[in-house]
Structure 1
Amino acid sequence: MWSASLSCVTFPLFIPFPQQSGLYEYKIFGGLAEIPPKLCADVYMDLDFRKKWDQYVKELYEETHDGEKVIYWEVKYPFPLSNRDYVYIRECREMDVDGRKIWVVLAKSVAVPQCPEKPGIIRVKSYKQSLVIESDGKAGCKVYMYYFDNPGGMIPSWLVNWAAKSGVPAFLTDIQKACLNYSKST
């Protein structure tokens, strides 16, 4: 069961009540006025630019392993929690569906021997994300995002609640600002 938990920017955030695992999934629907869909997709895919606007990025890079592009991403967590890192693959496709341009980004965690776990950092082994971006018919874009990860470790429920109520809206506000500043920095 999904419930509308809060709204931010122009996005309602839907968080299902946790099942047996106690882990949360997020679905976000909404729009970014004045942000064209291609710009939103470009900002989302630009790892170097993300290092400039996302304050939680400690390390972020892409490497090729066995012919596949793999992303390593270390995320700063607040004290006293350990940072988390992700090793994942992602793909972005621009599609034409009934005359509408749609950008689809899919990402999921992978195990790559060339990216071993680091001491003191907890590896997020279960991560998946789907992002769909299309024009809103005006100057902006409509966005749908599904997100799940298992951050591992022993995270207290108050912190999970903080992330849902503070972290996700802050990220959406940050990416909107990043889109507005993207052409200035590239």
Structure 2
Amino acid sequence: MKIKGTTKRAGKRPNFWGRYEKKIPESVKDLIYHHYYSFETLYVYCDCSMQIEKNLMSIACSYVHNGSVIVESNVIYPPKDCKGKNIYGELQAIISSLCNFETHLNSFIKNIVIYSDVNNITEILTYKLNFNKVFSLSNTQAELIHLFENKQIQNPNLEISIKYLPKVLRANNPFAKSAHNAARKVLQK
């Protein structure tokens, strides 16, 4: 099978940072280019934005693989007990990425890495942290864990992981920024 996309690697690498490129640490640039040109791993960056006064949230996911970035976003309507709770939108963004990553797969992808800015996502996924006082958050947590486990079972040839993206790697990350901006833009319409 012929592999498409070799022309994307020809010439200069894209400058994601514009005139600020010289201020970006080389380690961050290397990581960003590694994600951008990754052939066997699909990287997904999730984010959420909200308007408390209208009780609206939006979620966005940036799918990064083999020299392309695809951003998808949606508006969500949080339940009353989650009004003003950003964590609800962040978990919904991860759920959305789990529901939609299969449309971005090809036969070469062996790993899916989903990034979130929820710093305790590991504790949430293992029930070490729970939301017993907020019914809708508790249900969303259970839905996320169930979906994550099912996707791992349904895709035995894929290594699927959900990881925290530290602030240091978010600050200069064009893919995290693209998800953030897409989520904000949806609410401005």
TM-score by length of 1: 0.32
The answer to which structure, 1 or 2, has the higher relative contact order (CA under 8 A, 6+ apart) is 2
Structure with bigger strand share is 1
TM-score by length of 2: 0.32
Structure with bigger helix share is 2
